[in-house]
Structures are given as structure tokens and as C-alpha cells.
Structure 1
């Protein structure tokens, strides 16, 4: 099953543009003048140490927080003061760092709920249960099955969400986000808690999603996953942009190695701080 996502933007054109985003919580400056752009068709990585402002940036872009200054343009539309559901309707979907499934509902029902931003029946249709409403519900259920199959967990469609393995719950979250028909899918640490084999499956899924025309924004601590998967990477430190560029440029940047990767992580990537200082 292919997602076949089409937009008026051409491959390589700017889909999302963040301009000078700043956010403060009391005395803490969580974001400070953060600017970057994501092109249609990219897998774009966002990395940084704990407390760097990565999830805050996600929350600002997806409407959970309103920035003090700056704006976020998505396919030419200013999302800065939009509500989360309006942003989802515009084609910008996300998952969360902490899994947020409806644990007592089935996997299928979770994905069907994600489809609500593309439905038309409304309250009256739900009450009257007319023919068009029933047809739409059948289409929603069929689409949910397709998406569960797409992420590789169709066999668990009727199982309660909380009974699924951790990796399958992560994939269920992705299926639910895909149910909104996004142009851009933002994944907040999807590999967190996964074992190596689950991470391989996740990488294959992300590549498949991009192959079907959906741009991906990825927050992740797994450096091998990020550097091997992303087209470009943004590094945050204390709410500010530390570096931005291709993975090879970022992982060889002495400031990134010193401030974030450290000698141990750099060694895993075949880099040493001494080499960069030579």
C-alpha cells in the first residue's frame, strides 16, 4: 500500500520555514531566535542534549505553545497562532516523546480516531446514522486497516493498544499520525526504548514514508540512526542553533563534538576530537 501524498510543492522546495522562534518559561529561555527550513522530500534531523529545546520547538511548531516571537510557515501558511487541530488539518502531523495512545481501545480504533480531521459527517450525521455517514465510517475503518498494514502491525488490529509491545505501540502512533494524510510527519524520539532490531524496522518504515512523498522531521538521540538516515541535521544547544547542515558536516563540526557528541559518541562515528583540533 502506497500513501501517494501529493502537494503543489515540487521536490526540493521549502515546505516548512521557521523564522526566529523564541519561547520563554518564566526565567528560562527555552528557545532563542531559532531559524531553519525543511524542503519537501527531506528527512530532517533535530538533535541536541537533554534540555536543548527540541521538544519545545516541536510544541511551538505544532500549536501546543505560542512563541514570544518569530513565526512558522508551512506550505506558505503562517501556523504561529493556529490551534493544534488546525495545524493537523493543514497537513502537519506529529507523534510524541511519551506514547499517547488510547490504551483501552484497539489498535484499529486508535487509527480511526486519527482520521477524524479528514471526516465530514459531524455530530448530526453521527446521531442520524444516515447512509453517507455509514459509508464514511466504512471508509475510515478500511483506511485504518491499510495503515496498520503499512506500518507492519495489521495482525494486531483488534488487540488492545496497551497490550502491544513497545515497538508496536510506536508504530501504531505513526499509523495514527499518517491517518491525518500529512505532508510533513514530525517524530519525537520514535526509537526511544527500542532494541536494535526494532530500530532497523523503524528506519525502514521512515524511509518508506519518505519514499511515498511525505517529508519527515525527526527528533532522535540515536546518532547512528540520525546520521545514516537524515538529509540535513539541526543541532540545538540551550535553545539556540549550534549547527545545521548535512550529517557529515554536522558530525565533523568541532563545536558539535565538544558540546554534544563528546569523545565517546564521536568515536562510534569514527571521529576523534583530537582529529578535529589538528
Structure 2
């Protein structure tokens, strides 16, 4: 579904990404992990054209992503959330999700001014779909609440609902469990599993290793902007390079010398 080949990105003297290549298969949950500063969010931003890479290519469903505008990528079916929540804080939850539908609307400025029948029907359908999505993520009862007044976990779910409003084929989640307590994380995991079960591929950046290793089909590990390892969660957990990156060289040595040792 998504293929990245040789992606590199530099900020002045900092090489944020260096020759990063990977593939995401349709229908899987693909994890992206690494220590702080590894380049994870930079990679997300390159994939969604917030940043332009110095070299490399990325295709989605066979179509090139590099050089497209972010709204064009969303229209292709790649939606994302952000590490720092970006909601319209003074608007209601339902209004935030309705805004997410603008990629799929047809009415235009003229229809909005003239209030044609087609425009009114479309607006009714948009609102109905937004209510469905709020119910889907578990906050339907919060539809009319102002976004900034919602509890943190509900704001995270609202951002996912807004991304789902674009009808994505691939949903990229940037640290959705950040700041959540254990019970909220369990609910989030159930939601991500439901999203995949409904036919949407998921790309997940996350620091919660228990969540990643229990949820993802495959995991890519970055360190200093380079690919350190890739594979199934159990394989990645046993990789000495990954253990060293997270826990230090001594832990990597211990994992190799203890039978069945895992990070």
C-alpha cells in the first residue's frame, strides 16, 4: 500500500533521516518506534508532505506522494493525527469532525451562498456521518461539547474521528497513547483494532512498548534517522541492536547470554 525508498531529510547540519526504506502492506498495523530524536515524526511529516525530502521517493497505492500538497495526500486516502493535539478548541466536537469531511464534499462556495437543495442535503449527510464517527470512537455523548473542554483521552479520540472523516485507506497515528492512563490505553487499543478490522491500514508511532508489541503486525525501528531493525514484534524485541538503543550495551549483552532473553 505504501512504499518508501531511500528517504533522506536534513535540517541544517542535522541529518534527521538517512536512506530510510520500508513497505506497509494493506490491512496491517505497522509500528514505528525509536528513542527520542530518532526521526519518527520527521518521517511522518515527509510521508504527508509537511516536509520535502532531499532524496528518495514515496508512493501510496502506486501514486507518488513526494511533491503533493497535504490536502492532496488526504484526498488520496492517507490521513494522520499529530503528536500535539491539533483540534479547533473553540468549536464543538461535532463541528471538528464535520470539518474533516471537507475533502469529500462537493457543494463549493456558490452552493453555500445560494443554499441549494443539494447543498442542504450534503450538509445533513455530513452532520449525520460526523455523529456516526463520534459514536464509533466512543464519545458520541460529547458531540456538542466544546473541544477544549473535553478530557485529554476524549480529545485524542476526537482527533481520530476527524481523521476518519476523510475516509482514509491508511490512518497514521502519531503517539495516540501519549498522556493516557492504563484504562484509556486499553480503550485506544480496542479502537485501533476495530479500525483495522473495518478495512483501514494503520501506521502507528508510539512510545508505549506494551501497546506496540501487542498490537502491531510488524515494527520498524529508527535510530538517529536510520533504519535500525524491522520485523515482527518478537523479532524486534530480541534484536541486540534494538536492546542496546533502548537499554544500553550491557542489556544487549545480557539478552544474548540469557537463554530466551527478551527486551
Give the gaps of 5 or more residues in structure 1.
Answer: 1-14, 267-271
**2:20 matched residue in structure 1:** 34
Equivalent residue of 1:149, what SS?
A: helix
From 129, 140, 143, the counterpart of 2:129: 143
**2:34 matched residue in structure 1:** 48
Number of aligned pairs?
A: 258
- Call closer, same or farther: CA 1:202–1:208 in 2, change over 3 Å: same
Q: Following TM superposition, by how much is the alpha carbon of 1:115 offset from its aligned partner in structure 2, in angstroms? A: 0.5
**1:116 matched residue in structure 2:** 102
- Call closer, same or farther: CA 1:127–1:155 in 2, change over 3 Å: same
Q: Mapping of 1:207-222 within 5 angstroms?
A: 207-222=193-208
CA contact (8 A) 2:238 2:255 kept: no
- Call closer, same or farther: CA 1:202–1:273 in 2, change over 3 Å: farther
**1:3 matched residue in structure 2:** none
TM-score by length of 2: 0.96
Q: Following TM superposition, by how much is the alpha carbon of 1:221 offset from its aligned partner in structure 2, in angstroms? A: 0.2
Q: For each residue in 1:74-106, what CA deviation from the matched residue of structure 2 results, as whole angstroms up to 9, or x when unmatched?
A: 000000110000000000000000000000000
Q: Mapping of 1:65-144 within 5 angstroms?
A: 65-144=51-130
Q: For each residue in 1:206-240, what CA deviation from the matched residue of structure 2 results, as whole angstroms up to 9, or x when unmatched?
A: 00000000000000000000000000000000000
From 144, 147, 156, the counterpart of 1:158: 144
CA contact (8 A) 1:71 1:78 kept: yes
CA contact (8 A) 1:17 1:73 kept: yes
Q: Work out the CA distance in 2 between the residues paired with 1:79 and 1:254.
A: 34
Equivalent residue of 1:176, what SS?
A: helix
From 248, 254, 258, the counterpart of 1:274: 254
Q: Following TM superposition, by how much is the alpha carbon of 1:277 offset from its aligned partner in structure 2, in angstroms? A: 3.9
| 1:64 lines up with 2:44 in the alignment | no
**2:191 matched residue in structure 1:** 205
Q: Mapping of 1:198-277 within 5 angstroms?
A: 198-262=184-248, 273-277=253-257
- Call closer, same or farther: CA 1:261–1:81 in 2, change over 3 Å: farther
Equivalent residue of 2:188, what SS?
A: helix
Give the gaps of 5 or more residues in structure 2.
Answer: 259-263
Q: Work out the CA distance in 1 between the residues paired with 2:177 and 2:52.
A: 27
Equivalent residue of 1:182, what SS?
A: coil
CA contact (8 A) 1:254 1:277 kept: no
- Call closer, same or farther: CA 1:262–1:156 in 2, change over 3 Å: farther
Q: Following TM superposition, by how much is the alpha carbon of 1:126 offset from its aligned partner in structure 2, in angstroms? A: 1.0
Q: Following TM superposition, by how much is the alpha carbon of 1:260 offset from its aligned partner in structure 2, in angstroms? A: 2.1
CA contact (8 A) 2:240 2:255 kept: no
